[in-house]
Structure 1
Amino acid sequence: MKAVLYVGHGTRVPEGSEQLKTFAEEAKKDIPYDIQETCFLELSKPDIMEGAARCVEKGADSIAVVPVLLLSAGHIKEDIPEELDKVKEAYPHVSIQYGAPFGLHTKMLDVLQQRLENKGWQKGQDAGILLVGRGSSDDKAITDFHDIASLLQKRTGVDKVDTAFLAAANPTFDEGLEKVAKSSTKNVYVLPYLLFTGLLMQEMQTKIEAADKTSEPSLYLCDYLGYDKQLIEVLRERTDETFHQPFLFEKSEENV
């Protein structure tokens, strides 16, 4: 029997974990598999091993592991596969297929534009955009992020979409704020490329409130991507694609 295991990042902020669970529960309604479980890579429970165990307890002999993550970086390439090695050791009779994150997708740009519009942005407005990512030491993830910024710039028609990162990459968020604070535009929209709330969102809010007191352009912090029907459509696509991926691990015939 086939199962789907959704893997979120995890956060120390309980609200963020609950948002991921709610998002996955909504997605399950549109994804036609009887066994669907949600787990986290770190900081939240259940972890990947516990999630896989729940799938097996319900009768799964094949698990499609779908990362509920934005870009392909260290978590996708190293951390999750390491945990799946442990799952395979514990359940050698189970086949595992491993999918891709949301990645570059038109619907991601649709949601970003909506988040801007929800804060009052309009085409033709004298405004700048600061796109803020979590950050990574992975070159491909940084390149993909800059590609998203470039596509967003073309879509919105602003002169430039500046970028900044909350960790592990440059420019830092502080540097990004300092740059846009010197902008000649009347308004700057700070746009988080984050799925759900957490400590990083709280940190951004605090810094923007402090910077806005001395900043000439008005700063507006947009909402994170969050629960959105369009993101559920992307997740459904990634889930379908995962079931067509080669097996990361095939079940051991000796243990069937």
Structure 2
Amino acid sequence: MTALVAVAHGSRDPRSAAVVHQLLDVVRALAPSLDVRGSFLDLSVPLLGDVLRGVHADGHRSAVVVPLLLGKAFHARVDVPGAVADTRLPGFDVSIADVLGPDPRLESAALRRLASVGIRSRDRTLGVVLAGAGSSHAPANALVSSIAARWAAGSGWAGVEPAFAATAQPDVPTAVARLRARGARRIAVASWFLAPGFLPDRVTRLAGDAIIAPPLGPDPEVAELILHRYHSALAPLAASA
């Protein structure tokens, strides 16, 4: 069977890798016959190239790399294909699946995380910040902004504003100020991050006394999405076999 090799960005914060591994444990529980392995692009181990070499050494003839990335920014467009290209092995086919976002299952997971800290819809006193990493690639930022707009239209909250931890605008204090100007008396922050780390911590620091939802983490729908991306990438391999 073709192995599933998930690849996350990586972080010096050990909590990040721990949450990624917890998420992959959920994937394994959903697909117990599938060889599921975790890897990282940088800062954490094992690195993607090392895991691909291990999959090959264990006798697999093919693998699907599933980027645990929420949008098609630099890491998805450059780093992942580069790492795969640097690990060419004889008789070993590697396909790269699509990134996780956009997908309604991610939004559902983010809303569940908000609910886990007591946030409910139809509260006109509440403003929500949807906080993501931020990218120099505008479409990646636009994805977060479009989700915030969709939530604002249907949530019954005082407003929903996108915000970014780095690179892009608006930043978190600006988003909070906009919500306050609309009459929000309380602020909650929804996390558009897969796992904890430096940037989510920065969001928390900048958000002041806001209620902070945890990252998406080992959510069952996120695990289902990983398997969906795997099977979608696997279909062309099966057709050519």
The correspondence of residues 25-44 of structure 1 with structure 2, limited to 5 A, is: 25-31=25-31, 33-44=33-44
TM-aligned CA deviation for residue 201 of structure 1? 2.3
The correspondence of residues 209-248 of structure 1 with structure 2, limited to 5 A, is: 211-212=208-209, 219-245=210-236
Let me know the Cα RMSD of the aligned residues.
2.0
Shift in alpha-carbon separation, 1:178–1:159, aligned structure 2, 3 A: closer
Partner SS for 1:243:
helix
Q: Report the equivalent of 1:55.
A: 55
Count, aligned residues: 238
Q: Which amino acid aligns with 2:21?
A: K
The structure number with the bigger radius of gyration is: 1
- Residues 135-180 of structure 1, C-alpha deviation per residue, up to 9 Å, x if partnerless? 1111221222222212222342334311110111111223334444
Indicate if the aligned counterparts of 2:67 and 2:98 stay in contact, CA closer than 8 A.
Answer: yes
Indicate if the aligned counterparts of 1:3 and 1:60 stay in contact, CA closer than 8 A.
Answer: yes
Q: Which moved more, 1:178-187 or 1:128-137?
A: 178-187
Q: Which moved more, 1:16-25 or 1:104-113?
A: 104-113
In 2, Cα distance between the equivalents of 1:102 and 1:155? 23
TM-score, normalising length: structure 2: 0.90
Partner SS for 1:53:
helix
Percentage of pairs with the same residue: 23
Q: Report the equivalent of 1:203.
A: 202
Q: Which amino acid aligns with 2:31?
A: I
Q: Which moved more, 1:34-43 or 1:180-189?
A: 180-189
Q: Which amino acid aligns with 1:136?
A: S
The correspondence of residues 94-243 of structure 1 with structure 2, limited to 5 A, is: 94-125=92-123, 126-208=125-207, 211-212=208-209, 219-243=210-234
Q: Report the equivalent of 1:80.
A: 80
TM-aligned CA deviation for residue 107 of structure 1? 1.7
Q: Which moved more, 1:74-83 or 1:138-147?
A: 138-147
- Residues 168-193 of structure 1, C-alpha deviation per residue, up to 9 Å, x if partnerless? 11112233344445452221111121
Shift in alpha-carbon separation, 1:236–1:166, aligned structure 2, 3 A: same
Q: Report the equivalent of 1:253.
A: none
In structure 2, stretches of 5+ residues that fail to align are: none
TM-aligned CA deviation for residue 202 of structure 1? 2.2
- Residues 37-69 of structure 1, C-alpha deviation per residue, up to 9 Å, x if partnerless? 210011100111111011111111111111111
Partner SS for 1:29:
helix
TM-score, normalising length: structure 1: 0.85
Moved over 4 A (4+): none
In structure 1, stretches of 5+ residues that fail to align are: 213-218, 251-256
